[in-house]
A = this chain, B = another copy of it.
Amino acid sequence: MTRLRLGVLGTGFINETYHLPALRELPEVEVAAVFGKTESKTSDFARNWGIPKYYFGEGGLDSICKDSSLDAIDVGLPNFLHLEAVTRAAENHKAIICEKPLGRTAQEAGKMLDAAKRAGVIHCYAENQVFMPKARYVKDLIKAGAIGKVTSVRSREAHSGPHSMWFKTKDLAGGGVLLDMGCHTIELARQIIQKRPRDVCAWTATLSHKIDVEDNCLVLVRYDGNELGQSEASWSAKGGLDVRFEIFGTEGTIFVDMTRETGLRVFTTGLRGGAVVEKADSTSGWLFPSLGEHEAYGFVEELRHFSHCILHDKMPSETFQDGYVVNCLVDAAYESVSARRWIIPDG
């Protein structure tokens, strides 16, 4: 196999904004088919991205997974469809890439992991943040001893709220911002600390939006050497996307700011037309544009690594096993909120 023939599931934000722009940069990948909910949106998506074949509607998911011309399936559907999609793909012996979070619960994630293992297929957990070039550089710095032994990691992702309604409905999403974005910040801290999680404690609150899931959270994960992962996520933070992490070690400190130390500071009176910068919560005043977000946030490196692994029949550095651990940590966090105590996670 010299070129990966990939079937993409989903025509929403994640694929439109990140996966397709990243896949376009990989000559070793051919996006050969796409599946979406409705014909009109799916055919538009296929046309826009030059995808030769599309599937849609009831039965479409099954059909794309059975398409014998495809080597792998990239699941970019809403959370409540991950289990079904992964199961179908595994049954048809496709390599699988699944967008974060793997499941709505650890139970779901466990089923997906089992399905992939049973089928003997390559499984890739699409947690982009651990593939961010800055995150990888930081891991190399730490490995080289630049900051001694890591004592704690603070990771944060925040913005003023998600783009689609299913995120905010507990049944469909599986949870609120803790599941949706906490899964990023938890996994990033875990991959930097590189130890076994011992127990979990969390705070969640619904403080800004009128929704039935939490819009703010903080998750503490204590690791085997008593190190702390301190992971925040928020849907009520103003001032544009905030992605930062801070790593404290016995011989040094690392601060990473993905969205406000971009090297670009722009002030505009806004006189000449609308939003010159996206996702800024503001169209005038001081703005801090981020360029090449699909690359900066790790999608290109993530999908390059996954494609390489699938083409060479190797398990990637980030598998459904990792997704399952994250879901266990998220479940433990939710349990901690109810029980008001530290919880030892499964997994």
Query: Chain A interface (Cβ within 8 Å of chain B)?
Result: 27, 133-134, 137-138, 141, 144-149, 151-152, 154, 158, 199, 201, 203, 205-208, 216, 218, 220, 222, 225-228, 230, 232, 234, 236-240, 242, 248-258, 261-269, 271-273, 276, 281-282, 284-289, 291-292, 339-342
Do A238 and B276 have beta carbons less than 8 Å apart? Answer: no
Do B255 and A265 have beta carbons less than 8 Å apart? Answer: yes
- As for how many copies of this chain the complex holds, the number is 4
**Contacts known (A268-B252, A269-B251, A342-B341); A220 close to B236, Cβ less than 8 A:** no
For the complex, what is the distance from the CA of A145 to the CA of B274, rounded to whole Å? 10
Do B218 and A239 have beta carbons less than 8 Å apart? Answer: no
Provide the residues of chain B in CB contact with A227, threshold 8 Å. Answer: 205, 207
For the complex, what is the distance from the CA of A234 to the CA of B247, rounded to whole Å? 13
Partner of A146, one of B154, B218, B255, B268: B268
A144 to chain B: closest residue by CB: B276
A339 to chain B: closest residue by CB: B341
Partner of A284, one of B134, B285, B339: B285
Do A147 and B286 have beta carbons less than 8 Å apart? Answer: no
A283 to chain B: closest residue by CB: B285
Closest CB in chain B relative to A27 CB, distance in Å = 6
